[in-house]
Structure 1
Amino acid sequence: MATRPRFVAALSLADGVTAANAALGFLAAALAPISPALAARFVLLAAVADGLDGVLAGRVGATPVGEFLDSLADVASFCVAPALLVFSVVRLEWGVAPSSLVGALALAVAALFVVSGVVRLGLYTAYDVERGHTEGVQTTLAATVLAAGLLAGIETPTLLLGATAVFAGLMVAPVTYPDLRVRDALVMGVVQAGAIVVPDVLFGVFPRLLLACALAYLLFAPWSYPAGDEGKRT
């Protein structure tokens, strides 16, 4: 008697979007050494998918597996992909080999970013799902700032490496961030779409606006953003 694969009944539409997020993260990582700008656009597209799966989970229902899939996909899209993106820019701009001192330092910073992101996602899945807030900078936010910054013309390796190192610390820092409300996430999604589809229009207005919004949330959300109860998977 033929049986369906277990995932057919276990996964929802939101989970399918989460799985697509992981695929986009892989594409970003694969493209990073070839075209950092294109890879950055895929990171932002993965961020759109990451927001969309939460909206869908709230509208059509979530599954017990969703929160685990979400964090696994985020490892690919917002830990590994941005780390490779920054490392690739360093290699392309400075022409350094991974075996050189500078290359090894850049590789170490990228690896530290991945480690901090993985730890942060594990803690989030264990303690913060559906709470409406989380401790430490979100991996999605860190990846968005790095990708939007690159598309906005910030290609200085020293600055990108410094930002990556800072985010590695902020992702595990004891600072509470309220979850982005659905309404605000949708607005951000529109700006992200512009940064993905037409990153160069009007002197890069969409990546610059996205970077400004992301930095504003990064700097002010712990103290001034209104807390809510819209946990990512509620």
Structure 2
Amino acid sequence: MTFIKILKIPDVVTLGNAMFGILSIFSAFSGKADLAFIFILFAAIADGADGFLARRMGSSAIGENLDSLADVISFGTAPAVVIFLIYGHLQPYLVGTAACIYVLCGVLRLARFNTKHKEIPDFEGLPITAAGVVLASYLLMDDKYIILYGIVILMLLLSYLMISEHPYPKLRHPKAMVIMAIIFMLPVLSYFVLPEYLFIFATLIFLLMLLYLESPLMKIPRQYYDE
């Protein structure tokens, strides 16, 4: 089995990321919308974990490409498919067009990332993981805040930011990553244990992600992400 010899622990976690993306789509087809977005948050935790492990343990020859393929499933295809399944019947052409643009821009964003091998302190354009988390957290909020045209505008905005050249800081420091992992786990745990508080934790993540979206304008010093 060649793959057993090639794959390392970070790669297995990356495959977990892809699996959560697939489970998100399956959940949407089963009529479990909230669970579909919870799986996207699960995928985001796995995506952060595989990067951390790769820096500590080293990555395999296929690690970088495997990560991008998993990301396009979990944070590109899954959010688009889930949103169309849930809201497409209201405005099929509008939602479908926004979903297609979102996925295509996500693919372009990942292709650009994979072809730039130089080490840079920031991401060029919004990471697709962040885009997927923004959509998932927004759609887990209280129903009164979720508006169809708001979803479409948000998808188009995220599409632009992904293919833009705006710099977005990389979250690399272990302490910062642990804090974010805990914050991401709150709605996940709430879904299974205290569902009545799910929208509160989802709102917290959404507001934090809005700050990240605005970081190029706010010029947040990189030290707050690195230390």
Give the TM-score normalised by the residue count of structure 1: 0.86
Aligned partner of 2:213 in structure 1 is 218
> CA 1:202 to 1:20, structure 2 compared with 1: closer, same or farther past 3 Å?
closer
Structure 2 match to 1:136: 125
- Residue in structure 2 matched with residue 81 of structure 1 by the alignment: 78
1:37 corresponds to 2:34: yes
Whether the 8 Å CA contact 1:14–1:57 is kept in 2: the answer is yes
Match in the other structure for 1:156: 147
Structure 1 equivalent of residue 57 of structure 2: 60
Structure richer in helix, relative to its length = 2
Match of 1:8 among 4, 8, 14: 4
Give RMSD over aligned pairs. Answer: 2.1
From the superposition, tell whether residues 47 and 128 of structure 1 become closer, same or farther in structure 2 (CA, over 3 Å). farther
Task: Name the SS for the 1:224 alignment partner.
Answer: coil
Aligned to 1:18: 14
Match in the other structure for 1:186:
178
Mind listing any 5+ residue stretches in structure 2 that lack a counterpart?
none
Aligned-residue offset at 1:164? 0.6
Aligned residues between the structures? 218
Q: SS at 2:165's partner residue? A: coil
- Give the TM-score taking structure 2 as reference length: 0.88
Shift of 1:131: 3.1
Change (3 A) 1:105 1:205: closer
Q: Indicate if the aligned counterparts of 1:15 and 1:69 stay in contact, CA closer than 8 A.
A: yes
Query: Contact 2:187/2:198 (CA < 8 Å) preserved in 1?
Result: no
What is the CA-CA distance between 1:202 and the residue it aligns to?
3.9
Gaps (5+ residues) in structure 1? 97-101
Equivalent-residue separation in structure 1 for 2:155 and 2:92 (angstroms)? 15
Partner of residue 49, structure 1: 46
Percent identity of paired positions between Structure 1 and Structure 2: 32
Give the whole-Å Cα distance in 1 for the aligned partners of 2:170 and 2:6: 26
Contact 2:140 2:198 in 1 (8 A): no
Name the stretch that deviates more: 33-42 or 177-186: 177-186
CA distance in 1, matches of 2:125, 2:207: 20
| Letter of the 2:32 counterpart | S
Matching residue of 2:204: 209
Alpha-carbon distance in structure 1 between the residues aligned to 2:224 and 2:141? 31
User: Larger relative contact order (C-alpha < 8 A, sep ≥ 6)?
Assistant: 1
Report Cα offsets for 1:30-83 as digits up to 9, x if no partner. Answer: 222422211000000000000000111122222221111000000100000011
Q: Out of 76, 100, 116, which is 1:111 matched to?
A: 100
Superposition deviation, residue 204 in structure 1: 2.9
